[in-house]
Chain A
Amino acid sequence: MMISFILNGQEVASAAKANERLLDILRTEFTRTGVKCGCKEGECGACSVILDGKLVNSCMVAMGYVEGSTVMTIEGYRETERFAALDRAYASVSAVQCGFCIPGMILASECILAKNPKPTEAEIRAGISGNLCRCTGYNAIVKAIGLAAKEGEGLW
């Protein structure tokens, strides 16, 4: 029996078993390798996706949980205008170093701004507190999200 859900705006069906990890199925069956695996224990956020509008660690989600749900990965999000604003902001401060945390960080950025279009620095930091980054020290990422909030007037 197939598991049906909406992936990046398209209706899809997976042959996966209900107890397989969403992360694994997204990366293999659906070849969405933009979803990264950093720990498989919900501790790093590299595998973050947006499930029914909420940021989740896809390594913590069993396939059966997503039946009928909406899943967005970086591959879907990058088509949006909001992504373009975050892209420009992150580029302007060179916030992307090794890049491994970045797809998850971008989706976390989206979830912060979707809820709170004018976040304070503390709110930004809290919003990315589940996304580990080892390269940047977080400064540039926090700055980028703040810039996107400012420049992306009306987008969120």
Chain B
Amino acid sequence: MVNSYRPTSLQEALNILAKEAVTPYSGGTDLMINPDVNATYLFLAKVPEMNQIVADTEHIRIGAACTFTDIIENELVPSILKEAALQIAAPAIRNLGTVGGNICNGSPKGDSALILFAIDAKLRLVSSRGERVLPITAFYLGRKKTALQADELLVEILMDRKGLNNYYYKKVGARDALAISRVSFAAILNVTDRKILNCITAFGAVSDVIIRRAEIDAMLIGKTIEEAKAAKEEYFAAYDQKIVPIKGRISAEYRKAVCMNLLRDFLKSNGI
């Protein structure tokens, strides 16, 4: 098709992307809201590497063009990501919408992006010039601005195979389906030998980018539950300073209150 392309291999897709100003199209659920009538779409549904979910020794690898339904139905996918995917929009959107599109949209309200922040996921970005693997925390440069270059495709999302079971996730929207997040929160806590091995928290929909403060979470790492209890007010105070919700149609006060409440509840649910 002259007004679109349907590559059947990654290489073919990358070659086209390198030469022409095409718009990568995986699910279309963002693109089709206000479509550009002059756009030439690069349909990605037939690129094998982008449409599979596999596991290797270290990682689970999810193709960026996998739909949310694919993710929900695949047994390899960690539960935290499934839970978030299940709360996205509604069945018809989940059947089309993809995790890659959700990430590359660049919005801090991206439900799957939030989870990927909390599980320290990495993004495999490929172009005809080569490839790079970027931690998702380095992918967002500002509101709706990502590190994706014009000739790059997000091909796969990589996440650890282990350590993602003890999670906390809450999405707060205007209703229970078809809801854009007003506040979203995801966290992972792992305790080994009665010491906190890692603690990751991430807040979505409250700022220009998803908030992740590894240096604050670090306050709890290495501590026992009892020690963490003693440190928690300081931990909350540090977050209280850093979470400054932007003014939007939903009040900053509301979002802030919800963030702090969920953070407290996350610790409480772990005995802290």
Contacts and interface: CB of A to CB of B under 8 A. Distances in A.
Contacts of A41: 33
Given A43-B178, A60-B28, A64-B4, A111 B93 contact: no
A1 B2 CA distance: 8
Given A18-B41, A19-B35, A64-B43, A130 B178 contact: yes
Nearest to A125: B177
Nearest to B90: A130
Nearest to B69: A54
Contacts of A1: 1-2
Contact of B92 (A3, A18, A56, A126): A56
Contacts of B92: 42, 45, 48, 55-57, 60, 108, 130
Contact of B91 (A21, A55, A65): A55
Interface in B18-76: 25, 28-29, 31-33, 35-37, 39-41, 43, 45, 69
A111 B176 CA distance: 20
B89 interface: yes
A129 B177 contact: yes
The secondary-structure label for the interface of chain A is mixed
A129 B176 CA distance: 9
A132 B177 CA distance: 10
Determine the interface band of chain A, counting residues with CB < 8 A from chain B: 20 to 34
A103 interface: no
Determine the interface band of chain B, counting residues with CB < 8 A from chain A: 20 to 34
B91 A61 contact: no
B21 to A, nearest CB: 14
B96 interface: yes
Given A17-B3, A129-B176, 18 more contacts: A1-B2, A19-B39, A19-B41, A42-B32, A48-B92, A56-B92, A60-B93, A62-B35, A64-B4, A65-B43, A67-B1, A108-B92, A129-B90, A130-B90, A130-B91, A130-B93, A130-B178, A132-B178
The 10 A-B pairs of least Cβ separation, nearest first, read: A130-B90, A18-B4, A129-B177, A64-B4, A54-B95, A60-B32, A55-B92, A130-B92, A129-B90, A57-B92
Interface of B: 1-4, 6, 25, 28-29, 31-33, 35-37, 39-41, 43, 45, 69, 89-93, 95-96, 176-178
Interface of A: 1, 3, 17-19, 21, 41-43, 45, 48, 51, 54-57, 59-62, 64-65, 67, 108, 111, 126-127, 129-132
